[in-house]
Structure 1
Amino acid sequence: MTAGRGDRAAPPSPEGQWDVRFADAAAAKGWESLCRQARENTYRAWLTMRTDPRPATETQRQHRLKGTLAHGPYRGHTCEQWQIEVTGGGRLWYLIDTARDTCWITYAGTAHPRATDR
């Protein structure tokens, strides 16, 4: 997704931090919805992905997804998939691409994702 006029400018990641990017247009659209609904929490989630996308100790708000959702494909290789609970229902899912030091946001939304309702 290429930025255009009126789009928010994202700072480059400093040394030792992860880049955060959208895996697709749907994730970018969901991100904007999360920003409108919970600006501060979404910002904190972005900081978490930048600085500690794979914490040593998982929490209820940030943890690796389980089962078939624990991994996801991106650009020809498989990555771990994690979740951050932004609000009571709002979630971010992201793939950890260690080859590129990048977190790819695969899902962002204000509602709880149906894929985990099993």
Structure 2
Amino acid sequence: MTPARGDRAAPPAPGGQWEVRFADAAAAKGWENLCQQAPENTYRAWLALRTDPRPVVETPRHHRLKGSLAHGTYRGRTCEQWQIEVTGAGRIWYLLDTARDTCWLTYAGTAHPRATDR
């Protein structure tokens, strides 16, 4: 997603931190919805993405997805897929691209992702 006039500016990641980028336009739109609904929680999630996207101790609110959702592909790279629970239903899913120190947001939204409703 190319930034446009009026868009929020995100600083580049300093050394030792991760870039946080949108994998698609739907994730960008969902991120904006989360920012409007739960700004404090979304900010804390963004900090976790920047500084500790693969926590040593997983929690019910920040953990790797399981089963067929444990991995995802972005631009030909297979990466671990993680989740941060921002609100009771709001989630952020991201791929951990260790080669680029980048978290690719694949889902962000105020509703529980349907992919887990199997």
TM class by smaller structure: over 0.9
**Paired residue for 1:70?**
70
Instruction: Measure, in 2, the Cα distance between the counterparts of 1:92 and 1:56.
Output: 19
Residue 41 of structure 1 deviates from its aligned partner by: 0.2
**For 1:87 and 1:4, how far apart are their aligned partners in 2?**
28
Q: How does 1:33-72 map to 2 (within 5 A)?
A: 33-72=33-72
Structure 1 residue 60 displacement after superposition? 0.3
Structure 2, unmatched stretches of 5+, are none
* Long gaps (5+) in structure 1: none
The structural deviation recorded for 1:112 is 0.5
Distance 1:37 1:77 in 2: 32
Q: 2: CA distance between counterparts of 1:114 and 1:77?
A: 24
Residue matched to 1:81: 81
| Cα distance, 1:117 vs structure 2 | 1.3
Aligned to 2:108: 108
SS in 1 for 2:2: coil
What pairs up with 1:85-100 in 2 under 5 angstroms? 85-100=85-100
Aligned identity (percent) is 82
Shift of 1:4: 1.1
Q: Distance in 1 between matches of 2:114 and 2:74?
A: 21
Give per-residue Cα distances to partners, 1:5-59, cap 9 Å, x unaligned: 0000100101000000000000000000000000000000000000000000100
Partner amino acid, structure 1, of 2:27 = A
Residues 63-94 of structure 1 show CA distances to partners (whole Å, capped at 9, x for unaligned) of: 00011100000111100000000000000000
Which residue of structure 1 aligns with residue 18 of structure 2?
A: 18
Specify the SS of the correspondent of 1:50.
helix
Supply the distance in 2 between the matched residues of 1:31 and 1:15 (Cα, whole angstroms).
24
**RMSD of Structure 2 on Structure 1 (CA):** 0.5
